[in-house]
Amino acid sequence: MKFKKLLALGLALGMMCSLAACGGQESSAPAESETAVENEAAEEAVETKDVTITFATNVVGTKAEALEAACKAFEEETGYTVDFQAPGDSYEELMKTKMSANELPDVFTTHGWSVARYSDYLMPVNDLEFAADIDDQIKSVITDAEGNMFVLPIDIDVAGIVYNVDALETAGVNPDDIKTWADFGAACEKIKAAGITPVHIGGKDTWTIGQFFDWAAPSYYVTDEADNHAAELKAGTFDTETWEEVAGLLDSWVKAGYLNTDVLTSDYNADMEALANGTTAFCFYGNSSVVDAKNVNPDANIGMMPIPAANEADEPSLIAGEDVAVGVWKDSEVKDQAVELLNYLARPEVAKTIAEAAGCKAGLTTVTAEIGEIGTYLEKYADVATFPYFDREYLPSGMWDIMCSTGADILAQKDGAVANAAKVMEQNFNDKFVQ
């Protein structure tokens, strides 16, 4: 581009000198110079329109719609093209393939793995303007041992179990009385007796099965001080018997008839319809599901409760981590433009819209997300202990798919599925663990 500018300037000067030598035609030189400048501007405009930024995300539903809308607004403002991709269930495998080939999207969401999985591929954001405004509640989650942060955390995911308030009232269940999984089972019996499906899992979208294990496993491995396996997991030891307890909990629900009968063929959208219309009571999703449910039925009365403890000596808890966290591939050929997009997403008015679509607290202190009743529940449970997502903090990278597939076998009631789930989890943990 510099060569083109120098060439254009040289031609213009040469033209001026030639005209001056001829005499009587000096007035035409400025016109030629203006033409050269106009050509340069036209070339730059063409180059701007030719920029394409690839953007890939794991999020679905309302969150994906909000992100895509922000990208379209960015296109209109800049003239760039944003190739927005939201493949849903196949995102993780797609990203593994791209990492192997070192051909990642220019911008992508890290689904809880900005440090452990993606930090080698991401550009640190410490020097970007929004970095100073990242909320302390999420800062430690996205920071490596050297102090590098790798993503813009548009929101902070603090979650429990979402439920239909009217369904629980119909069954005579008070969520505040549910302290343990035994209490949860007793509540499910009442809900089932009232003709309502206690728990809805859209198992066709296999990630929905993994959600259960991420919610349930900490109560068996991490939150109980008297029987805590967190340090063992961090050191590379997987307690198989404990996983049999976790998997056995899901198995017991299937056998008791607490799950939807179409658990293997329904999907996340079916979960949201059931939750919104009160035909189910509980779903194991983050707060964005409240937004999605209300998009199905604006009058839906949805609540959120802490996750029960495995035994009476422990207390209920919440989980927290990255939600809509966005980073820039460090080897992107359009890195400058990708950073422009990241800065655009960090604008308070843009980040606010996305955080509200996610139903989560904003990740930047400059942004206040209006999340209605969700905010009321977050305030109600502000003193409840919060723990990281189980697979992100305590399992090696690549274990998520194993949780999903072994869980699907349990839902299908295959012979020996519980014992096999524990065995397969242990084998993969040992294979994938890196000290």
Query: Given a cut of 60, is residue 348 above it in pLDDT?
Result: yes
Mark whether 78 and 173 lie in a shared domain. no
Percent of the chain having pLDDT more than 70? 89
Last residue of a domain, one of 33, 48, 63: 48
Give the least confident one: 18-27, 37-46, 210-219, 280-289. 18-27
The arithmetic mean of pLDDT across residues 328-343, rounded, is: 98
- Residue 233 binned pLDDT confidence (cut-offs 50, 70, 90): very high
Residues 394 and 339 in one domain: no
Q: Are residues 342 and 317 in the same domain?
A: no
**What pLDDT sits at residue 109?**
98
- For residues 13 and 134, state if they share a domain: no
Q: What is the mean pLDDT of residues 110-115?
A: 92
Residue 283's beta-bridge partner residues? 162
Q: Which of 377, 404, 422 is the last residue of a domain?
A: 377
One domain for residues 125 and 151: yes
Within 311-389, residue ranges assigned H as helices are: 335-345, 348-358, 372-380
In this prediction, residue 89 has a pLDDT band, given cuts at 50, 70 and 90, of confident
pTM of the complete model:
0.76
First to last CA, the chain: 48
Q: What is the mean pLDDT of the chain?
A: 89
Q: What does DSSP assign to residue 199?
A: E
Average pLDDT over residues 395-407: 93
* Per-residue confidence band for 217, with pLDDT thresholds at 50, 70 and 90: very high
Question: Domain tally for the chain?
Answer: 3
Domain that residue 65 falls in: 51-157+322-377
The token duo for 139 is 């800062």
pLDDT for 38: 56
Residues 73-79: what's their mean pLDDT?
A: 97
What is the strand order of the sheet 155-159 is part of?
361-362, 155-159, 318-322, 386-388
Q: Band of the pLDDT at 301, cuts 50, 70, 90? A: very high
**For residue 430, what are the contacts with CB-CB under 8 A and spacing of at least 6?**
236, 238
Identify the CA nearest to 54 among candidates 38, 41, 69, 71.
71
CATH number for the domain spanning 198: value is: 3.40.190.10
The per-residue pLDDT for range 349-396, each reduced to its tens digit, is: 999 999 999 989 999 999 999 998 888 998 899 899 988 899 988 999
Between CA 302 and CA 314, with CA 308 as vertex, the angle to 5 degrees is 150
* Res 37: pLDDT: 53
Give the DSSP H or E segment for 43: helix 29-49
Quick one: pLDDT at residue 48? Answer: 56
Which of 377, 395, 415 is where one domain is finished? 377
pLDDT of residue 16: 38
Predicted local confidence at residue 116, as pLDDT: 86
Task: Say yes or no: 104 and 128 in one domain.
Answer: yes
Query: Is the pLDDT reported for residue 47 higher than 60?
Result: no
- Asked whether residue 63 carries a pLDDT value surpassing 70, the answer given is yes
Residue 200 sits in the same domain as residue 60: no
User: Based on the domain organization, do 222 and 364 belong to the same domain?
Assistant: no
How much is the pLDDT for 382? Answer: 87
